[in-house]
Structure 1
Amino acid sequence: MRSKTAWMTAAVAAAALVAWEAPAQRAGLPDSSAEEAIEPLFSAADLTYMQHMIVHHEQAVVMSLLVPERSDRPEFHRFADFVRRAQAAEIGMMRSLLDLAAERGLDLPEPHLHDDPPMAGMLSSAQMDALAAASGDEFERLWLEGMIFHHQGAIDMSHAQQRRQLTSGRRPYGLGVLVEEIVVEQRAEITKMRDWLEVWGLANTRASE
């Protein structure tokens, strides 16, 4: 099926892009001399948050790679590329933090993400197939609505992480700032996407289901 093949191909390409861009992200971590002063480095909840957010971000990268062949709007192409790069950079940062945790002897919990979708705030396989099969206005509407939902899921996950940090009184090494950035950046992107739904006349074009 073309739609499933399309987004699965995009997923493979996304993995390659993230792997290529990730090594540079380690340079963005705090100086390693600070590591020794922080015990414990991460809690099990911190590690689970990063593992889940990586999977969550990977879907956004896949969605962004679908845009160039399905929309003629240059501003939409630029925005999707920005989202892809931002999410890939954050994936690289979180992978570096997980690598650091493993180096420090912390056990990484095995993520159990077998549902479809794997977690709240992600699109299901059927939704991804529909997105890959669409084009033009229909694709733009599905993508914007889907990414708004997706971003809100990331914000909800990050708010839960912030509440855990507040309750514990801990600010996990390198993670506290990243969580804040995810919330701020994705809120701003949601505002832009909602504006485009209105300006492009897509808000009232929902197909009957």
Structure 2
Amino acid sequence: MTAGDVTDEQSAAEGHDPHALVERRKTRRVRRAAGGAVALALLFAGAATVASARGDGDGAGAGDARVPGASSADAGFARDMAVHHQQAVEMSFIVRDRTDDEDVRRLAYDIANTQANQRGMLLGWLDLWELPKVAPGGEQPMAWMAGTGGHEHGGTETGGTGHGGHGSGGSEAGSGADGVLMAGMASRSELARLNRLDGERAEVFFLQLMTDHHKGGVAMAEACASLCSVPAEQRLARGMVEGQQSELGLMRDMLAEREAEPRP
């Protein structure tokens, strides 16, 4: 007999209700069964996601043959978006320490939480496919987008820093001009500036940086939705497009409330 059973028996005895103990035990068994069902559902959902990421389930023995190659759009998107998301998480944590505005802090938390989770999925798929997390052979970031127009990005110049340009050294952070690797990414100088600002000035600059960041991310996700071959990754990419477009509208409104607007 557990401590919980003793407590139930004492409560029933004190209330002179012999049926109360029976009902409590039934409720406990139902809750345990429900909890077990939820755990099994999560397990099966995880297994289905892994199978989809491997390409399994579309024919016996097809799984291994359908694993993407190192230079495929699937692998390129997973590598590049993982780097792209990491910077969004970094900027979100910076602004949470630079402002007391609850709306901005809430948005920053949502972005950090969502993109950290998505980044974990992307890196997990690379592990599952046994592919490197760095582009092979000096391959440029976003090279997998060839033919979509997204890999030829010049970006806007602000304070001598290119927005949206990419460097020449693969997918490791810091190898591009002033740390800019892909469309929409902030430079090291801009991150340093965000770290120096406070209050509304920090809020506006964060919203502008994140607007640029989301625009670049949406372009990459749209390309994956068209070019990637793994169904689970395509679904994730479409979800990114929908979620980040919604946040773009929210950030535009938040900038307007502060008498500011996205950068040209």
The answer to which structure, 1 or 2, has the higher relative contact order (CA under 8 A, 6+ apart) is 1
After TM superposition, the score normalised by the length of structure 1 is 0.74
CA distance in structure 1 between the aligned counterparts of 2:205 and 2:68, rounded to whole angstroms: 37
Residues 14-65 of structure 1: CA deviation (Å, up to 9, x unaligned): xxxxxxxxxx9x9486153862544322242210111010000000000010
Letter paired with 1:142: F
Determine which of 218, 227, 230 is the counterpart of 1:172. Answer: 230
Question: Which position in structure 2 is the counterpart of 1:145?
Answer: 208
Question: Which position in structure 1 is the counterpart of 2:111?
Answer: 83
Matches within 5 A, 1:131-142: 131-142=194-205
Tell me how far 1:163 sits from its aligned partner: 2.9
Verify: 1:161 aligned to 2:161, yes or no: no
Going from structure 1 to structure 2, the CA distance change for 1:181 and 1:136 (only over 3 Å counts) comes to same
Determine which of 245, 253, 263 is the counterpart of 1:187. Answer: 245
Determine which of 51, 66, 74 is the counterpart of 1:46. Answer: 74
SS at match of 2:77: helix
Going from structure 1 to structure 2, the CA distance change for 1:199 and 1:42 (only over 3 Å counts) comes to same
Residues 46-102 of structure 1: CA deviation (Å, up to 9, x unaligned): 101110100000000000101222112112111111110000010111111111101
Matches within 5 A, 1:26-105: 27=46, 30=49, 32=51, 35=56, 36-38=61-63, 39-43=65-69, 44-102=72-130
Greater share of helix: 1
Contact map agreement 1:42 1:173 (CA 8 A) in 2: no
Question: Which position in structure 1 is the counterpart of 2:148?
Answer: none
Contact map agreement 1:117 1:123 (CA 8 A) in 2: yes
Determine which of 190, 201, 206 is the counterpart of 2:259. Answer: 201
Gaps of 5+ in 2: 1-42, 140-169
CA distance in structure 1 between the aligned counterparts of 2:68 and 2:251, rounded to whole angstroms: 34
After TM superposition, the score normalised by the length of structure 2 is 0.60
Going from structure 1 to structure 2, the CA distance change for 1:29 and 1:53 (only over 3 Å counts) comes to farther
Q: Which runs of structure 1 show a deviation greater than 4 angstroms over 4 or more consecutive aligned residues?
A: none
The count of corresponding residues between Structure 1 and Structure 2 is 173
Verify: 1:127 aligned to 2:184, yes or no: no
Matches within 5 A, 1:109-120: 109-110=135-136, 112-113=170-171, 114-115=175-176, 116-120=179-183
Output the aligned Cα RMSD: 2.5
SS at match of 1:66: helix
SS at match of 1:174: helix
Q: Larger C-alpha radius of gyration, 1 or 2?
A: 2
Residues 105-132 of structure 1: CA deviation (Å, up to 9, x unaligned): x566436032130122100111111111
Gaps of 5+ in 1: 1-23, 166-170
User: Which deviates more from structure 2 when the two are superposed, residues 39-48 or residues 118-127?
Assistant: 39-48
